[in-house]
Amino acid sequence: MTESVFSETAAEPRTQSVPLAHLSLELGHLYMEDFEAGPERLRAHFAEVRPWAEAARAAATARAGGKRPRISTCFLIDDYFTRFSTPAEVVPMLLAEAERAGLGVDYLARESGCAVTGKVPVAEAVAARIVESPPPGSYGLRPPAAQTGWLANGERSPVARAPQAMKRAVPWQPPHETAARRHSIFLDVELWSDDADGLRTWSCPFLAAVWQLARLGLLRNEGEALLAPQPHTAAGFPDKWDELPSLLRLNDRAAPFSAYRTCSVLPTRFLPVEHAVRVILDQIEADPAALEQVTDRSGREGMTVPPSVADRISYVYYAGH
């Protein structure tokens, strides 16, 4: 007699795997004012980017032991904080100037897709994975980030309070970085803000952290990979940003969007934002199955990745215009 065995589907969670390149090379992340300045601003940007992009490719080749590495390029457009122009006007100008500089854009992303993609609240799913690192000697006096919307890399200065009778006032104390080396570089990052109607606006650093997780192949929601590239099959680009996929594959022969490591070539004004990104990523518990997939596959290729997610990210900054 054969016995049937039934089990809940939820008891057997599966984490979707994604194809992985060796390096995800970001060729830019510009704001509305950069596009409003016209093609000359984009031309100057890509002229600055090109030599550093070539250097990043050379470094990836050396890391691959001289073998030809799989490298994909991407560009992030900020359509979240300000809607401007149209994809039909902006995207062709962007691609033309990149091509003029000898740079091809394989994947084009909208920053609003790092907040919500389709019906999936991507940023909210990532926020649910925040695991704060309590500073040594702390006693839980600081409200959690889930309540305040602020995340620090150490211990804040204590709030001044009026002394109780027969007790001395607590003297001022400086903030302290948890992983300080001799001296602290303390950072307190705003993750979001809520307006009077409860409408949440995610901060630029938090959306940039989501963007890095996607590029590293670690962005999951209930095991499902998010921000999957959609092929560009139309003759042109739409007139509305919401009609453009969150992540668009422009090159059919491109290496995978996600990669073992990322490198971003950015103007120096992004340095404080990306410092905040590292603070956030250091306190995000990435999907363990996704982490294991990347570790196993990179190990088989002899491209071992650092245990820390933040250490898989690199940057090149150039002086702004």
pLDDT of res. 81: 92
The per-residue pLDDT for range 120-158, each reduced to its tens digit, is: 999 999 999 999 876 665 555 678 888 899 999 988 887
Integer Cα distance of 301 and 13 in angstroms: 26
Helix (H) or strand (E) holding 206: helix 204-215
Stretch 206-220: mean pLDDT, rounded?
A: 97
Q: What is the DSSP letter of 181?
A: B
38 pLDDT higher than 80: yes
pLDDT of res. 103: 97
pLDDT of res. 7: 44
pLDDT of res. 40: 94
pLDDT of res. 67: 87
pLDDT of res. 30: 84
What is the model's pTM? 0.90
Residues ≥6 apart with Cβ < 8 Å to 304: 298
Integer Cα distance of 76 and 94 in angstroms: 11
Concatenated DSSP letters of 76-110? EE--SS---S-HHHHHHHHHHHHHHTT----EEEE
> Which of 24-33, 43-52, 102-111, 205-214 has the least mean pLDDT?
24-33
The per-residue pLDDT for range 256-300, each reduced to its tens digit, is: 999 999 999 999 999 999 999 999 999 999 999 999 999 999 999
Stretch 301-316: mean pLDDT, rounded?
A: 95
194 pLDDT higher than 80: yes
Q: What percent of the chain has pLDDT over 90?
A: 69
Q: What percent of the chain has pLDDT over 70?
A: 89
246 pLDDT higher than 60: yes
110 bridge partner residues: 77
Residue reference for tokens 């250490």: 311
Looking at every residue in the chain, the average pLDDT score rounds to 89
Residue reference for tokens 């919500």: 116
Angle at 25 (CA atoms; ends 21, 30), nearest 5 degrees: 140
